[in-house]
Each structure stands twice: as structure tokens, then as C-alpha cells.
Amino acid sequence: MTKTLTVEGDVNIVDTRTGLTAQGSVTAPSMKVPEGVSKIDKIIAAVAHDAAADGSAVWILRLGGSAVQKGEQVIVLAAGGCIAVQAGSDRAPSVCRAFVLEDVDIDVIPDIITVDAEMDGSDLGDSTIIVTLVFA
């Protein structure tokens, strides 16, 4: 049986570590790695931003806490940018497609994991990030 943890959150200030600690209508999901698993096998993630300001940014994922056995793991999630359009035009939508990172092989134990994200570079406005960790 596959065991997963899905969390999401808003990252709205550049260069600030933000905990992804919500799960839709569940405001405080369990952050405990399930019993009977020993690693994170897959990461599924997506980022969206409102392009409220011009510039470019990258979003990174930080996996840590006492559950992660070889220290904090930092993974690039997405990159995006935008520039003001000429008067009378509509700005193109800001889409950072979901991706799946296979065979990540991050050692864990059944303990508390922290899932944080950051927007680095330009402050593009509000962004939302969702991450699913697949344990094996």
C-alpha cells in the first residue's frame, strides 16, 4: 500500500521560509511519517503565482525535521517570471506545471517531518505550492 502526505500553503514573501502545513480544508494534518516506511520514494509538486509584480523567481522545497535522516534536503520546485504588458493587453497566465520527481530515495523514520518552501529572487506577489510525498 502506498502511503502519502500532501500539504500546501501560500508563499507570499520573497526569501522567507514558509511551512506548508495545510491540506485544503484540513488546517493541521499530521506531519508524522507513517509507520512501516523507510524512505521518500517520489515527490509530486506544483506552484502557481499571480504575477502581481515584474521579475523572476525560483521556488524551492525544504524537507527536514527529525524524520529526515541525512539532514535537510533542498529541491528546486519551479521557476517563473513576468513582465508588464503594454496598455490594453492582458497578461499571460502564470503557469508552473506540476512535476513528479521519481526515485528520490530520501531516508526517513516514523517521526515528524517539516515541509517548507521559499520563493527566491524577485517578489512576484502571491504564490501557492502543493507537495505530495510518496513513502515506501
Structural domains for the chain: 3-19+37-81+92-135 (2.60.120)
pTM (two decimals): 0.88
DSSP annotation of 123: -
Cell numbers for 122: 524577485
Q: What is the tens place of the pLDDT at every residue in 69-108?
A: 999 999 999 888 877 766 666 666 566 778 899 999 999 9
